[in-house]
Amino acid sequence: MTTPIPTPPALPFIGNAASIDSEVPLNSFVLLARQYGEIVLLNLSGRKIVLASSYELLKEVSDEKRFHKYLHPNLEQVRNATGDGLFTAHVPEEKNWYTAHRILMPAFSTSSVLGMFDDMYDIVSQLVLKWERYGPNYPIDLSADFSRLTFDAIALCSMSYRLNSFYRDDLPPFVQSMGDFLFESGRRALRPGIVNTLMRGSANKYQEDMDTMLGLVNEILADRKAHPTEKKDLLTAMIEGRDPETGLGLSDDNIKRNLLTFLIAGHETTSGLLTFVIYYLLRSPDTMLKLREEIDTNIGDRPMKPTDLHKLPYLLAVLRETLRLAPTAPARTVAPLEDTTLKGGKYFVQKDQAITLNIYMIHRDPAVWGDDAEEFRPERMLDGKFEALPPNAWQPFGFGMRACIGRAFAWQEAQMALVAILQRFDFVMQDPSYTLHLRQTLTIKPKDFYVHAIPRAGKPRLLATPSNYLVVSHVNEGKGHTNQVDTATSGGTVPKQPLYVLYGSNTGSSESFAQRIATESAAHGFRASIGTLDSAAGRLSKDGPVIIVTASFEGQPADNAKQFVTWLTDLKDDVLKDITYAVFGCGNRDWVQTYQRIPTLIDQLLGERGAKRLVPRGEGDAGGSEFFEAFDDWSSGLWQELSRVYQTRNTDSAAGIKITTVDTGSSRASLLRQSDTAFGTVIENQFALPEDMTYRAGDYLAIIPVNPSQYVHRVIAYFGLSAEQEITMSVSGPTSLPVNKLISIFNLLSGYIELSQPATTKDLRILTELAKTEDTKAAIARLSSSYADEVVAKRLSVLDILELYSDFEMSFEAFLQLLPSMRVRQYSISSSPLWNPSHVTLTISVIQSSTIPGRKEPFYGVASTYLASLRPGDKVQMAVRPSNSAFHLPTDPSVPLTLFAAGSGIAPMRGFLQERAIQAESGREVGKSLLFFGCRKPEVDFLYANDDLKKWEELGVVDVRPAFSQLGDDCKHVQDRIWQDRQDLRKAYLEGAKFYLCGSSKVAASVKETLCSIIGEIRQVGPEEAAKVFEEIMNGRSATDVFE
């Protein structure tokens, strides 16, 4: 007896069509696979489609004796233009396919494609020349430029026709029309036919796009007939070729349909592949280094030759692994030739029932690719592993007689393009925090993915790509891509001595410190440039000191420092002997094993490679009370040494900022701004994400907050300003302030600087100099002597101190000079995309305290107060940021979970449990979760106890083990409950559970200590040995997300 195929809830008439993302249907297919598993039956406006997402099903249907290619509704729409071309012909009904296939197969043989080498290299060279001409500060739209490359290549190599796409700024009309045509074809496939008929505007545009594409095809064919050539290219084969079996040739109409097919398929897939390759290489600097070494060793600086093709094994592995994770044709559809069953009789499918193979998810099946299937690891394709894969496990080019005829062409083109560009350029992401978003037409490509191409030889050029691109969007209010940094200072005498400030930062702390150095540089006689560490990989400057501020993230470099660390690690001998440098590291001592690992490594390697250290490496503990003080002390010594070594002179410390009043506030300037894709919307305790933004359970939502209005009005009142007063600013050196533009005082104070950050020890020294009375100087001295207790613990900001003591002579400019720029805040998302792929929820603690002794005014947490004040309809600038790759659910939902959380640390755990609950409700086998949750009292902060957690317990998804610190029982904290229930914990471990923790560093340390105690009890060993065992047995089975 067969089992019904799982089916999602459907609406009358349209079925499941409304639940499929019309922009990127693949996103919906991914979520359906995660929710329902390997198979699900969809009703798309009356059309039934079986979605298959496992290797077992792929293997079974890759049998041309039982299944044939079936044109998915998308391809049926594409037929409006391509007709009975090779890709969209109905076989066996349309006999033209057989004739064209036999005639054209020889034109795409490996030897024929090798004969196209020179023409291909011609087009690749045009791409390289363009990037060299535009320079390293130009943001390259990779998808667009690779489309130009592949479009021109297919036209020249197969049709001997030059399209010259690199000699125009916009995309060729064919490419633009093709993109619109394919996108609309996908949308038409999801609509009922009558709706397409009624949408006259869309229908007219659709026809115009087809006319544009067919117009080029007619032009190419007419040109060839008017100017015959002896060149035996693809077009010659179409015109003159005869079927070896029937002796028939191709009609003009079929030639045009196939020309259009090749122009579409021949460039769309390869351009996507190349774009994905660069994305994954930039996300994996070690892989980039290995690939570059292979190219440099085997080819060097010379042009690639035909004999080099297929002889770079690591390059081939990179291409194969890219197509595994990002098959540019992410699905194909088949149908049974007769009524049949799948999986040994489990599922019944009728004759001609469409079965869409979700190649994107099948290429992630852990049964074939392992538990790290989501990771980019080309090594899995090396040393015979690719050849040893199960049959048909890797299918980016389709299957059988309907597989891609142009595979050899694409493979050669991709190798040539990558070798040429990696020989000549280093690449840096325009946005280091870019998260992969897809654009889907007939194929998939990265959306809005921009890079800088930096020549590998020549003078260093730094690119100040921020640690979080939201900052750029905020400052520039959505105005395009602009990361170019003017290294010259403005106003007054321009300092002559260059200074290079580099940072590695994910959350913004290191970047903020780097910005302070750059901002202060002019006052010390230096001309600063600021950029990411990655922007300086391979090109450290010799004409000025290099100052590095960077952090470790679980022992790994920041996202915008990975390439630099990889490059530096690979250097030999004393190649940096002409470099002068200093390093300051940010970290958290609670992570003993990895504290300051990356700053220490960079400092050590620079010294070992001959660079001259200016001052000893500085370090700041973000979890301690002297984080900012440590930086101030280190930077003070740095400036003294820099001035001594480079013989510079100090100037007025506040001279860097100059303000001109433009409008006294008599008229109100318009404060409304248009929303763009960086803005999400508040909807009843949820956020609707910006368009095309996706997430996974466990990811972060990054928010740019604004200061509480109470703080802003306090500053305005203190300096006697008007909230509506408008100013422009000019600044000496690089800055994150909105310079040379009109801005109101209120907006400046609200959105660009941190008003509540505790005053640093350097701030206190400056305030002492500005105090007019000895009493105030003495008061500031007392704050300095008890800095941790009197300033940090009480959260005393510069503003707080100014208000406590009223006799300072401080200008507004000097006040701004002291304050750091506004930081992005990251919060763990507390929902799952299976609940709603375009909405997220947050679970936060709102920080407001009016009872801190020694404070004159209440303290408000900047971001939490901002979020708490939001109302439905408010726009919030946000971005999804991926969490550590380990801090995501296992691909297999049957793997049990053990979760540790305290307070708002429940956020990602709720997302995990919500996803598991939805999977369970959809019929999937779900492993049991054990949740240890630390709270104060049941009625105070036992979050979700009476709704979600209760429902999920009843569903059998989770067993909740709370600990209440204010009830007076023995289990006050999470670690106490863990110890009490240690037998259950041991059982979960033996059953293969994966462990997750989210909470403060103190919670993390306490949980680890208790787990080590359990190990010590079981194994009868001491604490030190237990800690070693803990690291061994938890390797690959635990993930943490720690916040302060």
Indicate the helix (H) or strand (E) that contains 961: strand 958-964
The one-letter amino acid code at 47 reads R
Angle, helices 142-159 vs 173-190, to 10°: value is: 110
How many C-beta atoms surround the C-beta of residue 736 within 10 A?
Answer: 23
Cis, bond preceding 92 (omega within 30 deg of 0): yes
How many Å apart are CA 596 and CA 315, to the nearest integer? 34
Distance of CA 1031 to the CA centre of its chain: 29
How many Å apart are CA 960 and CA 971, to the nearest integer? 14
- Residue 714: strand, helix, or coil: helix
Cα separation values, 941 from 185, 867, 903, 1006, Å: 50, 18, 7, 20
Percent helix, strand and coil across the chain, each to the nearest 5: 45, 15, 40
Nearest to 327 by CA among 425, 236, 410, 215: 410
How many Å apart are CA 173 and CA 147, to the nearest integer? 12
Angle, helices 73-82 vs 173-190, to 10°: value is: 140
- Residue 496: strand, helix, or coil: coil
Q: Which of 404, 586, 971, 1012 is catalytic?
A: 404
- Residue 891: strand, helix, or coil: coil
Nearest to 11 by CA among 22, 20, 24: 20
Q: Is 199 exposed, middle or buried (0-12, 13-18, 19+ CB in 10 A)?
A: middle
Neighbouring residues of 226: CB distance < 8 A, sequence distance ≥ 6: none
Nearest to 518 by CA among 493, 542, 495, 500: 500
- Residue 454: strand, helix, or coil: strand
CB 104 within 8 A of CB 86: yes
Our answer to whether residue 269 is catalytic in this structure is yes
How many Å apart are CA 429 and CA 484, to the nearest integer? 13
Our answer to whether residue 261 is catalytic in this structure is no
Here the tokens at position 654 are: 């506040």
Angle, helices 562-570 vs 597-608, to 10°: value is: 40
Phi first, then psi, for residue 900 (nearest 5°) are -120, 130
CB 671 within 8 A of CB 735: no
Indicate the helix (H) or strand (E) that contains 407: helix 407-424
Pairing between strand 580-587 and 994-1000? unpaired
Pairing between strand 929-935 and 897-902? parallel
CA torsion, points 468, 469, 473, 475, in degrees to nearest 10? 50
Residue for token digits 């038409």? 188
Here the tokens at position 379 are: 């090594």
Pairing between strand 848-849 and 859-860? antiparallel
Q: Which of 397, 425, 631, 1030 is catalytic?
A: 397
How many Å apart are CA 5 and CA 36, to the nearest integer? 10
Concatenating the DSSP letter of every residue in 66-84 gives: TEEE---HHHHHHHHHHTT
Instruction: Please count the CA atoms within 13 angstroms of the CA of 583 that sit on its side-chain side.
Output: 23
Indicate the helix (H) or strand (E) that contains 932: strand 929-935
The one-letter amino acid code at 141 reads D
Q: Which of 150, 236, 261, 269 is catalytic?
A: 269
Concatenating the DSSP letter of every residue in 567-612 gives: HHHH--TTTTTT-EEEEEEEE-TT-TTTTTHHHHHHHHHHHHTTPE
Here the tokens at position 500 are: 């290079």
> What residues are labeled active site?
269, 397, 404
